[in-house]
Copies of this chain bind each other. A is one copy, B any other.
Amino acid sequence: MITLASDFGTPYPAAMKGVLLQRTDARLVDVAHDFPQQDVRTAAFWLREVLPYFPPATHLVVVDPGVGTERNAIVLRAGDHTLVGPDNGVLLPAARRLAGSTDRLESGAIDEDALEPVEPTTPTGSMADSSGNADRSSQRRSNTFHGRDVFAPAAAAVHEADTGALDSLEWLEPTPIAADLEFPDPVLEDERAAGEVLVVDDFGNAITNVPGSYLDGRERVAANGDPVPVGETFAAVPVGERLATVGSHGYVELDVNRGRGDDAFGLEPGDRVVLEPVSDGPD
């Protein structure tokens, strides 16, 4: 099984799928192709939350603002899973979760020239294409689409090798990871949690880095000074009302029942969020 995740929109992911299917019969599963463009951090968050629900698989990830630069293309072995993508941190939170810790990750850098090159179908005689559109560039590998030309071939090769041992892959060079990425922990003291918004999901839920356990036993909480009810479900408050709840990832979310929490709370990713107890008096 190979999962695919990118910020490509369409139709670029289809070119990756074509390359994969030239080289493997693996099942292909899309994780997402609409991650915010070139937003390594948001993609890293979602991959960490989603990939652990998959059975052992090869995960192809391309959110790659540095495509074509000196950053390595890497393969990480994490528990029973293998991740393929750019060495810009996007793979690390998921890989660490899958492996248990950074220490348990095995990594290698892809030698692009040792992979079988990607070639589109070019039948004999195509240079005579009456459109005059053949032979547009002599380069064998693009500088702007390594998803198609580097990462997809590597993911197919990893899958086909069917091994947990990266050192058996001759096109991979043992190389330490250059770019890590960690999400900040909140500061928890006494009854106060000072954290931040990690991401906003498609429903507008503002997902913080404060552990859901902060809400245990509380009926109300002040979010940046503003008191809101704590609910176990969205429907704990009337439609259109705000609440704090524990999201499916285990963090405190600031939400609106059938509405957008980010708008109602005025929050976006990276914004500071302070949660405090609220007295039971009138607000």
* Interface residues in chain A, defined as those with a beta carbon under 8 Å from any beta carbon in chain B: 1, 3, 5, 8-12, 14-15, 17-19, 21-22, 27-35, 37-38, 46, 49-55, 65-69, 79-81, 93, 96-102, 104, 118, 120-126, 128-133, 135-139, 142-145, 148-149, 182-183, 185, 201-203, 209, 211-213, 232-235, 245-251, 253, 258
New contact pairs (19) apart from A100-B126, A136-B250, CB-CB < 8 Å:
A9-B34, A10-B33, A11-B35, A14-B29, A15-B53, A22-B53, A22-B54, A69-B233, A80-B121, A81-B121, A96-B130, A100-B125, A101-B126, A101-B128, A131-B182, A136-B213, A137-B213, A143-B232, A143-B246
Q: Decide: A233 and B68 in contact? CB cutoff 8 A.
A: yes
CB neighbours (8 Å) of A99 from chain B are 123
Contact status of A133 and B15, CB under 8 A, knowing A100-B125, A123-B79: no
A124:B100 contact, CB within 8 angstroms: yes
Assuming A21-B1, A22-B55, A131-B93, is B211 touching A37 (CB within 8 A)? Answer: no
Q: Is the CB of A246 within 8 A of B137?
A: yes
A97 touches B68 (CB 8 A): no
Q: In the complex the two chains form, is A66's CB within 8 Å of B235's CB?
A: yes
> Do the beta carbons of B65 and A234 come within 8 Å of each other?
yes
Q: Which residues of B contact A246 (CB under 8 A)?
A: 137, 139, 142-144
Number of copies of this protein chain within its complex: 3
A233 closest partner in B (C-beta): B68
In the complex formed, the residue of B with least CB distance to A209 is B133
A14 closest partner in B (C-beta): B31
Chain B contacts for A138, CB-based, 8 A = 213
Q: In the complex, A28 Cα to B14 Cα: how many Å?
A: 12
A142 to B250, CA, bound (A): 8
Q: Which residues from B are CB-within-8-Å of A32?
A: 10-11, 14
- Given the interface contacts A32-B11, A185-B133, A213-B138, does A235 sit within 8 Å of B79 by beta carbon? no
> Knowing A18-B54, A53-B148, A67-B234 touch, does A202 contact B10 (C-beta < 8 A)?
yes
- When distances are taken between beta carbons in the complex, the residues of chain B under 8 Å from A93 are 131
